[in-house]
Amino acid sequence: MNYNVLVADPISEDGLNDLNQHPDFKVVHQVGLSESELEAIIDDYDALIVRSQTTVTPRIIHKATRLKVIARAGVGVDNIDIDTATKAGIIVINAPDGNTISATEHSVAMILSMARNIPEAHASLKNGEWDRKKFRGTELYQKTLGVIGTGRIGIGVIKRLQSFGMKVLAYDPYLSEDKAKELEVTRATVDEIAQHSDFVTVHTPLTEKTKGLVGNSFFNQAKPNLRIINVARGGIINESALIKALDQGKIAGAALDVFEVEPATQSEVTKHPKIIVTPHLGASTIEAQEKVAISVSKEIIEILKHQNVSHAVNAPNIIFNEDSEIKPFIDLAEMTGHVGIQLMPKAPRELKISYSGDIALDDTSLITRTLVKSVLKQDMGDHVNLINALALLNEQNVSYTLEKNKKKKGFSNYIELELINKDDIVKLGATVLNGFGPRIVRINDYPIDFKPETYQLVINHNDRPGIVGKTGQILGQHDVNIASMHLGRSQIGGEAMMILSVDNYVDEAVQEILLEIDGFEKITQVVLNEEQHK
């Protein structure tokens, strides 16, 4: 069988050798196509390869009745409509490891350039000036490096800068004590990194949790000699807060390769005299571009010829054969994982998943993968998917156990998720009720019954009269409407839990007022629909 592959963006020709030389594949290059032009020809192809220039829209996907694979020759897939592709049964793949070395080296280059004022000194001398005092730099030796995110690139930067004699503070929700010892780094919080670092580099995915992670609070705690680098994702550093901190002398400098809005030609940060900028060059090396092309070429062949998938960022029905009977349990697993991880104060070191009742007799592999994916997504973003979820769990040294018991625990089907990190434990029980759909029916020791909505407040308190009325009054005064309320308690007058589904996000100031209610101990806000909250 012959397969047609369309290359819609400039891709390394050497990297496409596997496809070009394969007798069953015909590769066609047509770059710079408009949406309508791509729509007109896409139905002739089995695979589409893009980088960042081409946006694969729902209109294009709907016309692609023959298409089986969309490949992003790089990491980010935000230019591909993954939901539409998934519904159409099209596998979306990327090349997550191809740019690791290039991004690592670019991060180090940015740090060195900033420490020694290389761009400014270069421009000055090119302009005919000879001013050595103006561009006096600083050594890296015995300085403290703060690293936020210890994935492959973060670890690569750590190892290289340790050779310069730098001390390293590292933050990652999944960085264990043993791993930190192995890396010879000190585990720290983001605040501690802000307070003690001379240089800070960020290497996390952009998620709701990491968006603006480095902002006003971070800069207000920083040393005035701090220099900060971002070669990861635009938006992790709040750009307006960065400019304010530089203008007020709270930090000394910054180096950015990524921006909140790209292209960033009109951005204030690209014009600021204390910020070194490059136009998203982290993966722009000859070697990296060749590696990502090789990666997607090999995988396209594996998928179309042998049905083997390694780097899918989605899991269409053609892979898992999801049917209508299992769909409610997939939704239940997604919901349970999202709620559980937000109630957990620290990243879990152990997961326990158990199935009871009729569901224990079925194949639960997809449900398990969905649970794990939804737990990891808060910190790993779109990097985690149904295919790589268990592998990433193992990569983070998080253990998990799976139990099945055909006996029923009060429900015909029952799923229990337990997240553990030493003394921090969150246990959720969930089920699918006929006529009511997915429900969470237990949180720790509290029996409850609710279906989470977009926003909810989970309140730990002591059971006493008047609490419900005071809560409603305060929320009403701040224009927060309560959609539903669910209560669980261990005994009359004892510890209790209140779950409020509300119509909008409740800011920290309102939560602080609620905590003044006599008997309130802790409030956790759980947000399920991240896109709506952005």
Task: Report the catalytic residues.
Answer: 233, 262, 280
CA contacts within 13 A on the Cβ side of 504: 9
CB atoms inside a 10 Å sphere around CB 309 = 15
The bridge status of strand 227-230 relative to strand 253-256 is: parallel
Residue with tokens 């005299």: 273
Nearest 5°: the CA angle 421, 426, 428 is: 145
Q: Which residues, 6 or more positions from 8, have their beta carbon under 8 angstroms from its beta carbon?
A: 30, 31, 33, 38, 48, 49, 50, 53, 54
What's the one-letter identity of residue 380?
A: M
Closest to 45 measured CA to CA, from 19, 32, 63? 63
Positive or negative torsion for Cα 165, 171, 177, 183: negative
Distances (CA, A) of 502 to 42, 470, 527: 44, 16, 10
The bridge status of strand 253-256 relative to strand 275-277 is: parallel
Chain centre to alpha carbon of residue 232: 12
Would you list the DSSP string of 244-286? HHHHTTSS-EEEES--SSSS-TT-SGGG-TTEEE-SS-TT-SH
Q: Name the phi and psi angles at 413, rounded to 5.
A: -135, 135
Q: Which residues pair with 22 in a beta bridge?
A: none
Closest to 288 measured CA to CA, from 9, 14, 5? 14
Q: If 0-12 CB within 10 Å is exposed, 13-18 middle and 19+ buried, where does residue 21 land?
A: exposed
